[in-house]
Structure 1
Amino acid sequence: MAEDMSGHEDIARSKLLKSLHPLYRVYQDYLQTREALFETTALLSDADPSMRLLASDEVPPLTSHLSTLLTTTFPALLLSSSTTSSSTANLNALMELKSGVGGSESSLFLGELLRMYTRFAQGRGWEVKVVGRNETDGGGVKDAVGEGRDVGVYDVMRWEIGVHRVQRVPATESSGRVHTSTVACIVLPLVEDEPSDGKEDLFKMEDVRIDVMRARGAGGQHVNKTESAVRLTHIPSGITVSMQDERSQHQNKRRAFQILRSRLMDVKLTQEMVARRDVRRSLVRTADRSEKIRTYNYAQDRVTDHRLGLSLMNLESVMEGDGLETFIEALRKKHDEEVVEMMLQES
């Protein structure tokens, strides 16, 4: 037991150190910039005219960088860790994509969004894995579930919650008419299989009904012979989770419980957001899965984020994962500015 506790403490300490690394890195940048500014400012009164000229050229960018660190970078890092009450900064993320209106075109676009998020995550160096994927006969994806693991993944990806709309001419459209299709994105905090302290604070096992059944769809002969599919029902909340992607009942049950924990944690975090006075109202609205957040217009080579009123005229860059950073960074900045504004109003 003592060894288990020590192991949990080591994991917690490791996560804490990793979460503080961005702040440490920025603080080191601040110290180096401040020292460079002191040394350069002293050269403004140097006897050598060329040294004074060189110093006068270097002081403005150093001053500007130091100002940015103090007024923007530091507050953003401190706010991100102080305005979420359940330590979301350390949470991994579980993303669910579901096809909406548009039939086969929606399923095709879902596959492209899945690729976009995978490339974005890989570009950030996250550990990413698609753990569930139901494909259609036409080559699209009806729904998919992916995991992202690293410090801050949930806090980054939660901005993607909502309805993504695509406007383009489908390959099967002979008249050239533009179709509108949608994909719903849900981002949940990824909760580990078992609580590290040995306590289950999200649900009680007696509140969960477990049903097993034969899996349906493609998957080989075992699909019709074994009851490998699992459905969980959390009776107090009515939340249900069905899983049949894995090969065995044990694996499906494990995955289903993981998703159930994530959905219950999502409910808990949303309730805390509403209760806390210092969390921006628009973040709570983002938890509404029916809200249209972004439009991808292929004919105009444009992607528009409706929460920001911001458009990028480079759709390919967004779909390759690189341009997505622009929207996420802008949303984070807007969030931080609104939190500061609300704190000032309440003080």
Structure 2
Amino acid sequence: MLSALRSSVRLRCRYTTAASTGALRQLEKDGARILRAVQRRMDIRNELMHKAEDVTSQEGIARARQMKELESLHDAWVSWTKTRESLLETIPLLNDPDPTMRTLASDEYTGLSESLSQHISSTFPSLLVPPSPTRSLSALVELKAGVGGSEAALFLTDLLRVYIRYAGSCGWQSSIVQSSEVTGGGLREAIVEIKGDGAYDALRWESGVHRVQRVPATEASGRVHTSTVAIIVLPLGEEGEPSGDDNLFKMEDVKIEVMRARGAGGQHVNKTESAVRLTHIPTGITVSMQDERSQHQNKRRAFQVLRARLMDIKIIQDIAERREARRSIVRSADRSEKIRTYNYAQDRVTDHRIGLSIMNLQSVMEGDGIQEFLDALKQNWEQEIMEEAIDDVK
């Protein structure tokens, strides 16, 4: 009987070792595509390290920048490699004759296994997403009332308050650059400037058509109306009127017209030529500005908006040339797409791009509920970029 017991113990020990090693193999098999993508990045890094380029040359500067971008991924890869080696060294100790040693080895094995799983499920995927080239940009948010008449104008005003409130919660500065009221209240259109690092990257998912379904205050029969507001979020670079050629346009391609401001206002309205209209001839983009009191201020604002619109076009074109643009960013760039519905009767806000619904409309309109949408949209986009990066590895 004692001989049989010893045989059983030896068999169980061999099974423990085999099972532990098999678990590591299975983990690496499940994460094979991610590991190959990381290894490919490490190969690129090694190639860059062995290139003897002058660090003051353009190529040398570009190489140094690329090396820096791969630094965090390299650190994570070193951590993965060391953790894996430690795990392999720990596995034989799971069969140590000393019960205390086996217990310590078991605890160590559990911690190392969890660390390796974390690398594959979280650490590597987050680092495979390239840094956003627009991560430091501020934003211009343009809102235009669509179908629904005065109700659309009122809803535009509601959304404008949402973005101004959100900007304040993020520590960003916001100011209304231009607005146009309608009879009976509400705004037909508005442009709000939101200044702060990361404002554009956070808010760019808001571009598209926002639909509201609710009973207007003026509706006596209680019938639900459907109205829409179109939103375009533009990247905002440096302020100011260019003195010469801009990296986005040439001054010779911009037609500048000045005229008298129209509408209600102060003494400058209808008396001085303070309003400015810019036309970018190659694209046909027109920007009119009259809200500021002087021609110089309106001109500066108009160039700011023109530059933002041209930068938006450039970003979309650059993204469309890359494989990862096949999905959400191309769709979100379609300004006619209905992206979100605000249903007051059902107390529900639904984002149609990711199928996310929040059953608390007031938290979105009056609280911090919009953050849940922005976080989910960002996560969805990063997941798609990571999958594309993995698919690029043959």
TM-score interval, smaller chain:
0.7 to 0.9
CA spacing shift, 1:67–1:326, aligned 2, 3 Å: farther
Residue 132 of structure 1 aligns to a residue whose secondary structure is: strand
Is the contact between residue 280 and residue 335 of structure 1 (CA under 8 Å) also seen in structure 2?
no
Superposition deviation, residue 199 in structure 1: 5.6
- Does 2:169 match 1:130? no
CA spacing shift, 1:245–1:97, aligned 2, 3 Å: same
Superposition deviation, residue 213 in structure 1: 1.1
**Bigger Rg over Cα:** 2
Aligned to 1:76: 126
CA distance in 1, matches of 2:275, 2:345: 42
CA distance in 1, matches of 2:175, 2:261: 22
- Does 2:190 match 1:144? yes
- Does 2:310 match 1:264? yes
CA distance in 1, matches of 2:117, 2:150: 51
Quick one: which of 106, 111, 126 aligns to 2:157? 111
Moved more, 217-226 or 156-165: 217-226
Q: What letter corresponds to residue 121 of structure 2 in structure 1? A: T
CA distance in 1, matches of 2:364, 2:118: 27
CA distance in 2, matches of 1:243, 1:319: 29
- Does 2:222 match 1:172? no
Q: What letter corresponds to residue 342 of structure 2 in structure 1? A: Y
Q: What letter corresponds to residue 76 of structure 1 in structure 2? A: S
Aligned to 1:343: 389
CA distance in 1, matches of 2:140, 2:115: 36
Is the contact between residue 210 and residue 228 of structure 2 (CA under 8 Å) also seen in structure 1?
yes
CA distance in 1, matches of 2:343, 2:205: 20
> What is the aligned-residue RMSD (CA, Å)?
3.3
Q: What letter corresponds to residue 225 of structure 2 in structure 1? A: H
- Does 2:336 match 1:286? no
Aligned to 2:263: 217
CA spacing shift, 1:221–1:196, aligned 2, 3 Å: closer
CA spacing shift, 1:70–1:301, aligned 2, 3 Å: same
Superposition deviation, residue 331 in structure 1: 0.9
CA spacing shift, 1:312–1:69, aligned 2, 3 Å: farther
CA distance in 2, matches of 1:195, 1:63: 57
Q: What letter corresponds to residue 329 of structure 2 in structure 1? A: L
Give the aligned length: 303
CA spacing shift, 1:279–1:193, aligned 2, 3 Å: same
Structure 1 stretches (4+) deviating beyond 4 angstroms? 62-70, 194-199
Quick one: which of 251, 254, 258 aligns to 1:205? 251
TM-score, normalized by length of structure 1? 0.78
Instruction: Give the unaligned 5+ runs of structure 1.
Output: 1-15, 35-48
CA distance in 1, matches of 2:289, 2:241: 21
Q: What letter corresponds to residue 299 of structure 1 in structure 2? A: A
Quick one: which of 123, 141, 145 aligns to 1:95? 141
CA distance in 2, matches of 1:135, 1:292: 24
Aligned to 2:40: none
**Where do 1:249-328 residues align within 5 Å?**
249-328=295-374
**Where do 1:147-166 residues align within 5 Å?**
147-166=193-212
CA distance in 2, matches of 1:207, 1:124: 37
Aligned to 1:187: 233
TM-score, normalized by length of structure 2? 0.69
1:42-82: CA deviations, max 9, x gaps?
xxxxxxx9xx9xxx8xx98x99799658633664365151x
CA spacing shift, 1:73–1:102, aligned 2, 3 Å: farther
Aligned to 1:10: none
Quick one: which of 231, 234, 238 aligns to 2:284? 238
